[in-house]
Structure 1
Amino acid sequence: MKVLKVKIFQMTNYYQRAHRFRNFQQCFLYRRKSSLSLWEQDINTEIKMNIEKQWSSVVKRSAVNNGKKPYYVLPMFPYPSGNLHMGHVRVYSISDTIARFEELNGRYSVHPIGWDAFGLPAENAAIERNIPPSQWTKSNINSMKNQLEKLGFNFDWKREISTCDPSYYKWTQFIFLKLFEKGLAYQSKAQVNWDPVDMTVLADEQVDDLGCSWRSGAKVEKKYLTQWFIKTTKFAKALYDGLDSEELENWKDIINLQKHWIGECDGVIVSFKLEVNGEMKTFDVWTAEPYKFIYGDFITMNSSHPIIQELKSHKNVTLVCLNPISNRELPVCIVDDVNYPEGRNVYIGCSQVDKEDKKIANLLNVPISSKQLKIDIESENSRAVDMALNKNVGGHFVSSKLKDWLISRQRYWGTPIPIIHCKTCGAVPVPYEDLPVELPEIESSTGIQTLEKLEHWKKCTCPKCQSSAIRETDTMDTFVDSSWYYYRFLDPTNEQMPFSKEQVINHMPVDIYVGGKEHAVLHLYYARFMSYFLHSLGWTPTKEPFQKLVVQGMVMGQSFKLKCSGKYIPPDQVEKVGKYYKEKSTGNAVVTQWEKMSKSKYNGENPERLLATYGCDTTRLLILADVPPATPRRWSDATLPGVLNWQHRLWMTMREFLNHRNNLPVETTLTPEEFHKHEYKIWDSRNYLIATTTYHFKHTQKLSVGISRLQSLTSVLRNKVPPEVITKSKEYEKALAVLIIMLAPVTPHFCSELWAGLQSAPHRLTESSNLIDWEKCVLEQTWPKVDESYELSFLCKVDGADRCELKLKSSDLLSLTHEKAVQMMLNQESVKKRLTTEIHKTKFELYPHCRAILHIYPKKKKVKQEKVSDSVV
């Protein structure tokens, strides 16, 4: 009985002491995971692997909505090649970090993943192995999914989609039929780019400047084929003008790339009709002078035009077309040496208004009126456009060089085009209730390159007249599948529609879109077109699909090739002699350069090696540190020591903190003034580094800069800080907590262990609050904010140059308005003396808890023109 009383007393005394040191919760078994408590050991790969195993279930937890405002973080979904490369590691490390950052900022992050699974690479690989493409693709998806999970990315796998799944491409076909209904999907004969290796048509966008295929690298050939197109040109002007929207953030040079591709929309297209070989053909006429559609009196057409190619001979042939605007018949002259608009092979002339056109008509012996017309060209241009729009024959502004989107592909592994060809009814859409038109099952890929060869699949019945008919055997370009996937992610199980407006209305536009710059023209253009089209149907809340872009640079590897032959050789066959590289076995000179990673160039890096050697957190930290996302990343193990050393210093910091806290009391050696001086330095550093880290994580997405700020905070906590400050300073404890929270989006496993160590520390000085909740794991904390009394930067730029910087308390900065900001800066002498003219405009940027910037743009001074004498000196 006495022994029992002693034990009760000891336990009661322990509880009292625990309560006194604010560590009462540690005396119980609580739900949160505890630290591995390996602090006395030096951090190494084995410990890192154990940490990742310990915290994997916490790190990959499902995001909970709980009424939070959603934040849509969308990385471009991968093609399932079977193996991740460092480009994948980079893009998904960026998106995962941003998603976790937004979670800490009180948002519900939507971070989906799926598979861009159709296309030539999978089909060609399956043919090589004599297996069905579906089998090859499914195997690759399983392999890559496993690799992504190893990297600790917190994807919402409940939203997973695959474009080759009938439950997905059913809705791609559904959208195609909507395009067809609106006259935006059509079939036409055209001169196309033919890839002789992959045996399929390519869009103009898929041919490089040297005339080679973007996939196979083969020199493309020109052929005349009947193909399916989507009339993207109808939305060209809207897409061009939309690039100036203030809603687009951080698009930078991508805006110029898109504008260059679309071209200045300074003309309009009208569809004319022409009878050839007994059939009525439609062809487009573009002009920058729409009045010619009213008053034009002849057409010239280049001999390369597909309509002319259908003629057995175009010599001594008289062609007449119908102008749908004037309802007049116009002669068509076949001539090559007319100055056609860029990208066009048809020209409309108006000899009664345009003197140059009259010269052309006379040279071609075109019968024209000798009477000259005087018209208000601007007014007649507007009237012609209105007439074209009202008659539904064109009238939409577009550049001369932009063509409609060619989507036909003559291969098996793609979304079947849901059209049935009937001799009586023509091209008939497959009824919606019969979707999807599924790809036929095949046992092997040998000899199967097109649906054209599958007779049993082709033959069908016309939905209109019930007679025998043939299915369309072309499949869609994979860019069609990826042009709308970001909507399906938001409603992936909808069986009635591609998606419902109710599901997307609070999520669109995508808050931040992360992907490679190589997709900044083609994919982005097609995705923007599709979003504009779906918005025109009333399906979506906004036209633009993506608010902010994070365009990542390529991960480059160092390659080595023999100077004499240009042959690439592996790095282990190269040695450096002085400043030069030589082949070990021969001594031949070797040239080195940084190039896109490739197996054939022996300059790739296998993510599996990094995961096995360093763990996923170190791999993620390594790919994000040093270089901002938009900059190409030169991959080298030379950057590893810095990252490994930082993790070691963080580990040592926690070890020393726990040792000091566990060994109270500490002898007092500092005066109150000295103690306060140390605390103030930590307080000032904490606030400054919170402000700058937040700015780069949230606003610039320069994650590498934010990470460098966290390294700086680590140095502050380790730079000659006396044990007494570590033990007794509330500021030190708070700064250490803040450091771990801010690093958590980058290295979630490692920081979960550091946080658990911090939770286990006795004698805690910081109470649970809005800043820190000691009962929650690090990934459930709130992203830290600067103290209200801390002074932040308010910068004024005049005509782009820094002219004045003021310091405002964080609380005052939050209440700063545009008008107040202008008044405040105009009172500063350094600003006033730079304003030698009136102000043209001002722009105010407020970054809460970070900084504020006022841009002032003065009116440009008019340059006086000196009078030039007519006389010659």
Structure 2
Amino acid sequence: MPVLQLKILQSYNYQRTNSFRNVLCYVLRKKSSLRLWEEDISTEIKLNIEKHWSNDVKRSVNSYDRKPYYVLPMFPYPSGNLHMGHVRVYSISDTIARFEQLNGRNSIHPIGWDAFGLPAENAAIERNIPPQHWTKSNINSMKIQLQQLGFNFDWNREISTCDPNYYKWTQYIFLKLFEKKLAYQSKAQVNWDPVDKTVLADEQVDDLGNSWRSGVKVEKKYLTQWFIKTTKFAKDLYDGLDNGGLENWKDIINLQKHWIGECDGVVVTFKMKVNTEMKTFDVWTSEPYKFIHGNFVTMNSSHPLVQEFKGHESSQLSCYNPISNREVPVYISDNVDYPQGRDVFIGSSQTDKDDLKIALSLNIPITTDQYEIDIESDNRKAIDMALEKNVGGHFVSSKLKDWLISRQRYWGTPIPIIHCSSCGAVPVPYEQLPVELPQIHSLKSGIHTLEKLDDWIQCKCPKCQSSAKRETDTMDTFVDSSWYYYRFLDSTNQEKPFSIEKIRDHMPVDIYVGGKEHAVLHLYYARFMSYFLHSLGWTPTKEPFKKLVVQGMVMGQSYKLKSSGKYIPPEQVEQVGKEYKDKATGEPVLTQWEKMSKSKYNGENPERLLATYGCDTTRLLMLADVPPATPRRWSDATLPGVLNWQHRLWMTMREFLQHRNNIPAKNTLTPEEFNKYEYKLWDSRNYLIATTTYHFKHTQKLSVGISRLQSLTSMLRNKIPPEVIAKSKEFEKSLAVLIIMLAPVTPHFCSELWAGIQSAPHRVCDTSNLIDWEKNVLEQAWPKVDEHYELSFLCKVDGADRCDLKIKASDLLKLSHEKALQMMLNEESVKKRLKTNEILKTKFELFPYCRAILHIYPKKVKKVAVEENVV
């Protein structure tokens, strides 16, 4: 503190009038509190606090010299209105970003808009306005709502996938895929949505065969579509899930592995002449040697190529095998046990008895010659030949398909391909990107596909300059969102999608926050794109996301008539005993918790909460009680606990200021009694700092961390004598760290509390390593436990807690894996559990200033049956 201010403090009696204290407060502070401590906290006061501190809360701390920490929430589709799922995900990410900022990191917390797709286009058709106008209006509306919630996004990085400045680079990446023969066109049996009139990927059809968007039963069609060969990276993507650098992925690893499937076979691309054209198709087998020795191929009758040569006799069909370099006969049969997800089979009747049975059943000519082969050697040889000839050879599961990206709708990224009758599919030159969507004034006329816009379609072939046509399919929106996390880091680059120099120190994303419903498809596509871009040398790492926080859905209580299943609004329902009935008819009503939806009358409007309780209370409501990964059952019944806690915090500050301004003339406690309170406050403060930090930083169970802060509040209000409040260094320090640790969750409210404690006279805290009273609460350092406070060092044997030692925080930091193991092996409770001391493996986790955990996994001892001696 400056010398002048110290002299002011020393020269005046603090028990002066409020007006003088206000003047003094102004001297000390750049910005004072509202000084409403004598009034009970109310919504009006909270809203005034939020207005008062709004600019300070949104102002980013200049910390470019700090190590960056990339907090990425999944960007929203701009529907026009926030829902409670948005409030939850961004409350989580904003709290984590602010927490890391207090921990000395430069938090990068960007936001943008996943703006293309069917919902916007359908909404525009209903309203007879262009989708770009509808989308822009929604973005403006949602941006205001996000700002009202006090989220500290870096708006300078804002992107929108429907902006040509963004999708230009999506097209650029597509052309790179095309160059590497990873983007291709092929005829396929596809899922057709008859309502939205577009193709859906298999992943966008539910288990009942219904569209994920419209809900109608999909139809099967044969269409020529664009695919991305994600299967080429399948084995890498599967093995990458065992990367020790992935944190907190838990069951998401299993979901991803299940989706990709065990990569126990390889694919090779064969050729077949159909009419006058040469077509390609993939052949998968778990026995690659058959690409060398195979003597027949079978196809299911549903295969797309079969549809083109129906009427041909099966004996007339043949294909070219690029590995054996010879023609192989093709037979159509639905009676072959095809690999899961495949409709082609390659057989070798001379080397495989089961294949011989198939050949005999289909009357396939066979030779009686049999010979020995080296299967292991030929497997390797076939794979090497496929890789060398660039016709396959990559390991993949039989069930995994390539990514179908064609969509037959207007509102999407145009595929940058030109079709020429002479040159075939020709990529648009890079310098002509972006291929912009044509401007339309209305979709009312039924124009929802590019193929109806003739002026836009007609063009010149970049190769031969003859008349040609543009590709009229647009890309699946998953393509736009598969790489956006890179663009956020270099959003103004006009030369390329991003530069490795701009992303090198920021990737992989430190923590990715989003819904569990996106943990398979979006995450798979984003991982694929990251692996592909890494193969080009564009990125420093393969994996895009280090740590995941997957939040559960926000559920609302719905009511529906038992007889018809019709949903009714809650105001039509009354509770009679333990049952629910329709007020009008008395008919029984069923209740259940479901995903919030307007059609189910179980939604909650965030704007009501903002108007009624303020943004800090709304954020606190979303984060308290339930960990992020758990579905959140929304109910006003959760409000009293949070409101009461804010009330107790307000009263704690009021009483602190009162007692600091009216220090008792005489001591009512003996030094021993006073020190007893000091020690209790010191011990509780350190324990709750350690546990709060652990859950905010390492488990991301924010609700548990918040509960620790509630415990700290209770401790400060647990019959602490006025003399302790007035004079105690530990009370002041505990109150200060409580406000700092709550600030990432409720930044406005804590800014006001902090201004209150800053204005208090007779501050006695040692601020050398804890508090800077000249700065606001969001510029403080996150509290750490005292160096000599004893923290938990826990040992788990086979998952069970066996020993918990207490070690000084300073010593815990120096604890190595080897020393930790040695210490625990000397403990009787551990030795007793291990018995033989035979250890399979150990794992040591050190969480600085929080705790340490040693995991010991003993070898499993086989039980040997002992024969009894019979006398």
Scaled by the length of structure 2, the TM-score of the pair is 0.97
- Once residues 835 and 776 of structure 1 are traced to their aligned partners in structure 2, the CA distance between those partners, rounded to angstroms, is 53
Counterpart selection for 1:365 from 360, 363, 366: 363
Shift of 1:320: 1.0
Instruction: Tell me which moved more, 568-577 or 374-383.
Output: 374-383
Give the letter aligned to residue 537 of structure 1: L
Partner Cα distance (1:195, 1:27) in 2:
66
In structure 2, the residue corresponding to 1:227 is in which secondary structure? strand
The 1-side partners of 2:865 and 2:389 are apart by: 49
Instruction: Judge conservation of contact 2:289–2:378 (CA < 8 Å) in 1.
Output: yes
1:206 aligned partner: 204
Deviation (angstroms), 1:18: 6.9
Q: Which residue of 2 aligns with 1:128?
A: 126
Q: Give 3-state SS (helix, strand or coil) of 1:711's partner.
A: helix
Q: Corresponding residue for 1:794? A: 793
Cα offsets for 1:456-480 (capped at 9, x unmatched): 0000000000000000000000000
Structure 1 window deviating more from structure 2 (378-387 vs 802-811): it is 378-387
SS state at 2:757 partner: helix
Partner in structure 2 of residue 321 of structure 1:
319
Matched residue SS, 1:745: coil
| 1:89 Cα offset (Å) | 0.1
User: Aligned partners of 2:81 and 2:25: how far apart in 1?
Assistant: 47
In structure 2, what residue type is equivalent to 1:338? V
Mapped to 2, the partners of 1:522 and 1:688 lie a distance apart of: 41
Q: Which residue of 2 aligns with 1:294?
A: 292
Counterparts of 1:505-524 in structure 2, within 5 Å, are: 505-524=504-523
What is residue 490 of structure 1 aligned with on the other side?
Answer: 489
**Inter-partner Cα distance in structure 2 for 1:180 and 1:465:** 19
Q: 1:382 to 1:636 in 2, by over 3 A?
A: same
Distance 1:460 1:728, change over 3 A: same
Q: Look up the equivalent residue of 2:557 and give its one-letter code.
A: Q
Letter in 1 for 2:481: S
Aligned partner of residue 703 in structure 2, secondary structure: helix
Whether the 8 Å CA contact 2:41–2:647 is kept in 1: the answer is yes
**Is 1:414–1:478's contact at 8 Å kept on the other side of the alignment?**
yes
Map 1:714-753 to 2 at 5 A: 714-753=713-752
Counterpart in the other structure of 1:6: none
Is contact 2:70-2:509 (8 Å) kept?
yes
Q: Following TM superposition, by how much is the alpha carbon of 1:53 offset from its aligned partner in structure 2, in angstroms?
A: 0.4
CA contact (8 A) 1:790 1:809 kept: yes
State the partner residue of 1:439.
Answer: 437
Residue 397 of structure 2 is aligned to residue 399 of structure 1: yes
Q: What is residue 560 of structure 1 aligned with on the other side?
A: 559
Q: Which residue of 1 aligns with 2:652?
A: 653
Query: Shift of residue 12 of structure 1?
Result: 8.7
Per-residue Cα deviation, 1:5-26 (whole angstroms, up to 9, x for no partner): xxxxxx99876237999x9994
The amino acid across from 2:380 in the alignment is S
Residue 308 of structure 1 contacts residue 314 of structure 1 at CA under 8 Å; is this kept in 2?
no
Aligned counterparts of 2:140 and 2:514: Cα–Cα separation in 1:
22
Over the aligned positions, Cα root-mean-square deviation in angstroms equals: 1.7
Residues 666 and 126 (structure 1), Cα distance of their counterparts in 2 relative to 1, 3 Å cut: farther
CA-to-partner distance for each residue in 1:246-277, whole Å, 9 max, x for gaps? Answer: 00000000000000000000000000011111
**Which of structure 1's runs of 4+ aligned residues deviate more than 4 A?**
11-15, 18-21, 863-867
Corresponding residue of 1:238: 236
Partner of 1:538: 537
In structure 2, relative to structure 1, the CA distance for the partners of 1:330 and 1:714 (3 Å cut) is same
Is the contact made by 1:666 and 1:724 (CA closer than 8 Å) also made in structure 2?
Answer: no
Which residue in the other structure is 2:590 paired with? 591
2:15 touches 2:662 (CA, 8 Å); kept in 1?
no
Tell me the equivalent position of 2:3. Answer: none
The 5 Å alignment of 1:561-580 reads: 561-580=560-579
Give 1:528's aligned residue. 527
* C-alpha distance in structure 2 between counterparts of 1:47 and 1:399, whole Å: 60
Match of 1:859 in 2: 859
CA distance in 2, matches of 1:12, 1:691: 37
Percent of paired sites with the same residue: 80
Q: Name 1:176's counterpart in structure 2.
A: 174
* Residue 108 (structure 1) aligns with: 106
C-alpha distance in 1 between matches for 2:75 and 2:865: 57
1:424 pairs with 2:422: yes
Alpha-carbon distance in 1 for matches of 2:215, 2:50:
42
1:306 corresponds to: 304
Q: CA shift at 1:312, angstroms?
A: 3.7
Deviation per residue, 1:370-403 (Å, 9 max, x gap): 1122122122111111111111110000000000
Q: What is the DSSP-based 3-state SS (H/G/I as helix, E as strand, rest coil) of the residue aligned with 1:223?
A: strand
Q: C-alpha distance in 2, partners of 1:270/1:190?
A: 17
Corresponding position: 1:346 with 2:344: yes
SS in 2 for 1:300: strand
CA distance in 1, matches of 2:660, 2:562: 62
C-alpha separation between the residues in 1 aligned to 2:129 and 2:158?
Answer: 25
1:408 aligns with 2:406: yes
- Aligned partner of 1:331 in structure 2 is 329
The equivalent position to 2:162 in structure 1, one of 161, 164, 168, is: 164
CA 636–427 in structure 1, closer or farther in 2 if over 3 Å, else same: same
Q: Which residue does 1:275 correspond to in 2?
A: 273
Residue 218 of structure 1 corresponds to: 216
SS of residue paired to 1:159: strand
Please state whether the residue corresponding to 1:80 is helix, strand or coil.
coil
The answer to whether the 8 A contact 2:624-2:706 is kept is yes
Alignment-mate amino acid for residue 155 of structure 1: F
Tell me the equivalent position of 1:847. Answer: 847
Name the aligned partner's letter for residue 789 of structure 2: Y
CA distance in structure 2 between the partners assigned to 1:97 and 1:666 by the alignment? 43
The answer (yes or no) to whether the contact 1:186–1:229 under 8 Å persists in 2 is: yes
Q: What's the offset of the Cα at 1:32?
A: 2.1
Task: Give the letter for the 1:418 counterpart.
Answer: P
CA distance in 2, matches of 1:13, 1:261: 69
What residue number does 1:784 align with? 783
Q: 1:273 to 1:863 in 2, by over 3 A?
A: farther
- The answer to whether the 8 Å contact 2:692/2:706 transfers is yes
Alignment of 1:58-77 (within 5 A): 58-77=56-75
Q: 2: distance between equivalents of 1:13 and 1:317?
A: 104
| Cα distance change, pair 865–282 in 1 and its aligned pair in 2 (3 A) | farther
Report the equivalent of 1:145: 143
Q: Secondary structure of the equivalent of 2:756?
A: helix
Indicate conservation of the 8 Å contact 1:314/1:334, yes or no.
Answer: no
Distance change in 2, residues 1:436/1:14 (3 Å): closer
* CA offset digits 1:286-330 (Å, max 9, x no partner): 000001001111101111101010114144551111110011211
1:95 counterpart (88, 93, 96) = 93
Match of 1:248 in 2: 246
Secondary structure (helix, strand or coil) at the match of 1:618 reads helix
Q: Between 354-363 and 28-37, report the one with greater CA deviation.
A: 28-37
Range with greater deviation from structure 2 (648-657 or 829-838): 829-838
1:534 and 1:540 in contact (8 A); partners too: yes
Q: Deviations over 1:766-799 (max 9, x none)?
A: 1432210000000000000001111111011111
Instruction: Identify if the C-alpha distance between structure 1 residues 230 and 575 changes in structure 2 by more than 3 Å, giving closer, same or farther.
Output: same
Which whole-Å deviations, capped at 9, do the CAs of 1:585-639 have from their partners, x for residues lacking one? 2211111100000001100000000000000000000010000000000000001
Q: Structure 1 CA distance, aligned partners of 2:736 and 2:26?
A: 23
Instruction: Write the deviation string for residues 180-218 of structure 1: whole angstroms up to 9, x where unpaired.
Output: 000000000000011111000011111111111111111
Distance 1:608 1:101 in 2: 26
- The one-letter code matched in structure 1 to 2:11 is Q
Query: Are the structure 2 counterparts of residues 56 and 451 from structure 1 closer, same or farther at C-alpha, using a change threshold of 3 Å?
Result: same
- The equivalent residue for 1:54 is 52
SS in 2 for 1:77: coil
Equivalent pair of 2:28/2:759 in contact (CA under 8 Å): no
Question: CA shift at 1:667, angstroms?
Answer: 3.1
Q: 1:454 to 1:63 in 2, by over 3 A?
A: farther
Instruction: Give the C-alpha shift of residue 28 in structure 1.
Output: 5.7
| SS of aligned partner of 1:557 | strand
* One-letter amino acid matched to 1:95: S
Normalised to the residue count of structure 1, the TM-score between the two structures is 0.96
Distance in 1 of aligned mates of 2:245 and 2:365: 53
CA deviations 1:788-830 (Å, max 9, x no partner) are: 1111110111111111111100001000000110111111111
Map of 2:641 onto structure 1: 642
